[in-house]
Structure 1
Amino acid sequence: MVISSSGDGSLFISMIDDFKGVGSSIKALFGRPYKVEFVAQRRRKYRRRERSYNVTGRIPAQINHLQRIIEIGDVQCVLNLRMNRNAFARLCYLLENVSGIVDLRYVRIQENVAMFLYILAHHKKNRVVGHDYLQSGKTVSSHVHEILRSILKLHPILLGCLGALDGTYISVQVTNKDKAKYRSRKGTTTINVLGVCNRDMQFIYALTGWEGSVADARILRDDVNRQDGLKISRGCYYLCDNGYPNVEGFLTPYRRTRYHMDQWIGGSLEPQNYKEFFNSKHSHARNVIERAFGLLKRRWSILRSPSFYPLKV
């Protein structure tokens, strides 16, 4: 604002302003009349403020920051993302090939996943993460929500799961001499039948003939060593309970942790940690073999009670 004096003692104020009513404000401020001359242009053309940076100029710094975390060693990766480089690469692979996450123009999948894990590991806000990864808060927020939705898509499924397997007891009639070896842990004379079904409750394999006193793990070990036994493709597996070994091709739940479905009934019995969460998902998925055995025995009454026919029959 410029204040100038004229010959007759009046003050002329020349100022550039877009708002109306400035004259009354100045009059109230100084206590005596003034003439206010507005020389502001009514048709002022606003120009966009030029950016002090560009998007492509930040890419080398973003790449260097990500490399320091995931490409130097496992120590930095675990400290920042709470997982080693192998686990991080597997997670990125699943999100890309299963959930459909793709690289964007300026943000790669690895950077999206790193920002998401960094928030979970250190409980940081979007603006703090954006400062560390040279991204805006809006960019961080949108990509974190996208990664979260993609990870939730992986929960209902167990990748590579072919189905489930378990053993069931079928009551039989044997001679008194053989009752000892056919007596199961439930006290009845039975045979232990290994059954395998897919995720649609369709039986695809069965092995019978073993005595009721034989453990499930021994039956499975004998089966996989047979030439015509159960074959499992590499990278796939079947769900089974803790009566079987947790080896390649067979996935068992965590031991000494709640597992069976009746233990998850009620809101107060929700999973309390990652082991219980995994066992809950495992139990619901493996229940397919229990339902398949139940339907089979309900349809064929001869499987529910001791047969009148010899064991060889």
Structure 2
Amino acid sequence: MCDQNGEFVFVLPGWEGSATDSRVLRNVVSRPYGLRVPKGFLASYREERYHLSDWRGVGNASTTAREFFNMKHSSARNVIERAFRLLNGRWAILRGKSFYPIQVQCRTITECFLIHNLITREMGIGAMLDVPDEENSASVGLDGDHIEFVESSKEWTKFRDDLAVEMFTRWQRA
């Protein structure tokens, strides 16, 4: 997990590359000292345009609140993808097959993340991530209220729908 500046805030090495995001997330939030995710985790809309490339070019602007929400969601997802590309580009040991024992691999991965964060913080590499500014990004969370398990709920689906409409309406006015 990384923040808007491309600094990693939670790392759990040791999962195989084929593990799905939802499987890892379910495991991480169920651990006694696992990731504390503020309530408000919102998934994108299915069967709507999602990838940023879908909106490139003249005449491809969002036409619905759901599309607009997905565009912003995709933009936030690009931050983590770019952070991983920077990390893998910087540390060759992360790119290839490793023959070290799994404990050594996990420590090495964690150390690469820590040094990546130090470089990002001290040298301003996060500015290269082309992160959306705070004014145009949505942040949701409740103080002291964290996700204990992952499941869909009608309340959060309605909240996401309302948020998408509000974001789209503001964007149209601008």
Q: Deviations over 1:127-183 (max 9, x none)?
A: xxxxxxxxxxxxxxxxxxxxxxxxxxxxxxxxxxxxxxxxxxxxxxxxxxxxxxxxx
- Give the unaligned 5+ runs of structure 1: 1-195, 234-247
Whichever residue aligns with residue 271 of structure 1, its letter is S
Matches within 5 A, 1:224-243: 224-233=29-38
Tell me what 1:165 maps to: none
Tell me what 1:297 maps to: 88
Relative contact order (alpha carbons < 8 A, sep ≥ 6): 1 or 2 greater? 2
Tell me what 2:20 maps to: 215
Q: Does 1:261 align with 2:47?
A: no
The separation in 1 between residues aligned to 2:2 and 2:100, in whole angstroms, is: 27
Tell me what 1:202 maps to: 7
Tell me what 1:287 maps to: 78
Instruction: Give me the identity figure in percent.
Output: 52
Structure showing greater radius of gyration is 1
Shift of residue 259, structure 1, vs aligned partner? 0.6
The separation in 1 between residues aligned to 2:64 and 2:71, in whole angstroms, is: 11
Give me the TM-score of the superposition, normalised by structure 1. 0.31
How many residue pairs align between the two structures? 104
Query: After the TM superposition, which parts of structure 1 deviate over 3 Å for at least 4 consecutive aligned residues?
Result: none
Secondary structure, aligned partner of 1:296: helix
- Give the unaligned 5+ runs of structure 2: 105-174
Q: Which of the residues 275, 278, 286 maps onto 2:66?
A: 275
Say which structure is richer in strand: 1
Shift of residue 211, structure 1, vs aligned partner? 2.5
Shift of residue 232, structure 1, vs aligned partner? 2.9
The separation in 2 between residues aligned to 1:211 and 1:205, in whole angstroms, is: 17
Whichever residue aligns with residue 285 of structure 1, its letter is A
Shift of residue 309, structure 1, vs aligned partner? 2.7
The separation in 2 between residues aligned to 1:201 and 1:214, in whole angstroms, is: 22
The separation in 2 between residues aligned to 1:219 and 1:249, in whole angstroms, is: 18
Whichever residue aligns with residue 296 of structure 1, its letter is L
Matches within 5 A, 1:82-231: 196-231=1-36
Secondary structure, aligned partner of 2:73: helix
Label 1:211 to 1:286 Cα distance change in 2 as closer, same or farther (>3 A): closer
Give me the TM-score of the superposition, normalised by structure 2. 0.54
Tell me what 2:42 maps to: 251
Whichever residue aligns with residue 79 of structure 2, its letter is V
The separation in 1 between residues aligned to 2:49 and 2:68, in whole angstroms, is: 9
Q: Deviations over 1:101-123 (max 9, x none)?
A: xxxxxxxxxxxxxxxxxxxxxxx
The answer on whether the counterparts of 2:48 and 2:66 sit within 8 Å (CA) in structure 1 is yes
Shift of residue 311, structure 1, vs aligned partner? 3.4
